[in-house]
Amino acid sequence: MTVAHAELLQVASSLLSQSPANSNSLRGVKAGTRTIDEVSRLEALLRDVEDPSSMSPELLERAIKAGLWYHVNPFRGALIRSLEIPPGARILEVGCGAGALTRVLGEQGFKVVALEASEELAECARVRCNDLPNVEIVTGYVEQVVHDQRFDFIICIDPVLPESEFYDPGLQLFSLCRKVLKSTGSLVMSVGNPLHAPGGVHIEPSREHVRGRGASLEALKQSLSSAGFTHCENYMTFPNHAAPQLVVNPDEARRERVFWLSILKELYASSEVADGEMERWWRGIYFEGLERSLAPGWLLVAHAHHVHSVLWNGSPVKRYIPMNSDASPSESQNEKGIGIHAIPVPNQNLIELILNASKPIVNSVKDYKDSLVNADMRIDELALKESAARNKLQDAHDALVRAEDRHTTELYTERESRRVREAELGLVLKQYHAVGAMCHDMREEGRKLKEMLEELRRRYVASEEWGSALAKRISETEAELHEARASLPFRLMQRIKGFFNKTSPRDVALESARK
């Protein structure tokens, strides 16, 4: 390999089209095998059995012989038994299929609404859960069926991830799930690792729908975060994600140093690999710290709230083993940190049938190496596509920078124009205020001038009246003087005055001087 582990993990979701490295042991899941005929045979079988329960011996034996093991696998319940869901919880199951997990949920007393887009599979689920009044089977999709309902949990096994959502897988589905969850609700999802997928595509029966190529763990967690799920717990499932026999909490297992790799040797004992080869391969993965990313499947528990109850309780590693109803795990089976959980089975013959039907099929390490070579070629193709996309992104970025610069220049010009207009307006306002002050002063001066004119007019009128009185007095005085002059005493006085003037010493002296 010429690429680093990190690069390999980033393109893991694109490898479904390559040679599979690990079949997930659910026989009948490969592309094209789940046909309408298969669903018809399953419905006929469910209608024919007397006991459709999850551990019905008749149903399990006949389903194994008829090649319908995928639809009745009792290990489906391990996904729910690994988590401690509170009793009486209201659960929405998205994509219930033929009702294998729906039956387990109903038997545990949960209030279940199960959605299935295929009418034929939904009818099988109705027949399977017909005797459970707390289970409702609905045909349709989340956005079509659920409107005003709210649920405590949403369970989704093997969600559809279209290729168009390669870089943000499942975002639309997760967003819809977020809307119908209660504020304290959780999304429980089981997803297969595309590196371990059993084929390139998966065709659902009775409808032309092709599942997407899958996605990496980090891409799924990013999509969940984008959809509003603030917390995400992830657990590893072996040998597959839909019917696990081993569920591992990787963080707790590392913290408590639980060496769960020893179980793989027993779990994969029937595979084509050499004795101990699978365990050695997983040891290398474990010591490189890649076990979480390279696990065959993941059980994800996403929360949309900051404070949530711990759903995973108990040992870091949980293994599910079919046992007789009255048996219990032996001391040799109980190891430190590994919890053995029994799946009660009525008889030993049925236990052997279940174990044989559940054996994982693992290809040799040579096939793994071939898959990695194909992955390397795929990485090169993706690198070219990434380079082209990066060039387009750079062009778009440059165009955006140019547009931003142009916008910045226009904004600066507009700001300068606005600043000039504001300065001009400020000057006009100052002039306006100055003219206003001048007008006020002129009004004050005009008022004072008006008062002065009024005072002058008043004085003028008074002087006019005084002059008229004075002229009248003068006239009267002149008349009196004229009368006085015309009177006899006045003339007599004048003559006397003239006589005295002539006989005065001064006049005599003057007269003598003249002579």
State whether residue 105 is helix, strand or coil. Answer: helix
More confident call, 483 vs 144:
483
Token pair of 129, please? 């859960």
SS3 content of the chain, % helix, strand, coil (to 5): 55, 15, 30
Single-letter amino acid code for the residue at 308:
H
Residue 153 in this model has a pLDDT that exceeds 90: yes
Residue 464 in this model has a pLDDT that exceeds 60: yes
Which pLDDT value is given to residue 369?
A: 62
More confident call, 327 vs 153:
153
Lowest mean per-residue pLDDT among 96-110, 300-314, 494-508: 494-508
More confident call, 348 vs 409:
409
- Report d(CA 502, CA 351) in Å as an integer: 188
More confident call, 270 vs 482:
482
Backbone angles phi, psi at 192, to 5 degrees: -90, 145
pTM for this model (two decimals): 0.63
Single-letter amino acid code for the residue at 261:
L
Task: Output 118-123 pairs: Cβ under 8 A, ≥24 positions apart.
Answer: 118/39, 118/204, 118/205, 118/206, 118/207, 119/206, 120/36, 120/39, 120/40, 120/43, 120/205, 120/206, 121/39, 121/96, 121/97, 121/205, 121/206, 122/96, 123/43
pLDDT tens string 162-209: 654 455 677 888 988 898 898 889 999 998 887 765 433 333 333 333
Contact 238, 295 (CB under 8 A): yes
Give the residue carrying structure tokens 């179980």.
Answer: 263
Token pair of 174, please? 């997760």
Across all residues in the chain, what is the average pLDDT? 78
Longest dimension (CA), the chain: 200
- Report d(CA 310, CA 301) in Å as an integer: 10
- Report d(CA 88, CA 415) in Å as an integer: 64
State whether residue 468 is helix, strand or coil. Answer: helix
Token pair of 434, please? 């100055």
CA angle 417, 421, 425 (to 5 degrees): 170
Token pair of 478, please? 């002149």
Contact 135, 112 (CB under 8 A): yes
Give the CATH superfamily of 8-360: Vaccinia Virus protein VP39 (3.40.50.150)
Lowest mean per-residue pLDDT among 158-162, 205-209, 221-225, 384-388: 205-209
Domain ranges of the chain: 8-360, 364-515
pLDDT tens string 277-290: 677 778 888 888 88
State whether residue 61 is helix, strand or coil. Answer: helix
Lowest mean per-residue pLDDT among 30-39, 147-156, 404-413: 30-39
DSSP-assigned states of every residue in 272-308: SSPTTHHHHHHHHHHHTT-HHHHSSEEEEEEESSSS-
Which pLDDT value is given to residue 18?
A: 32
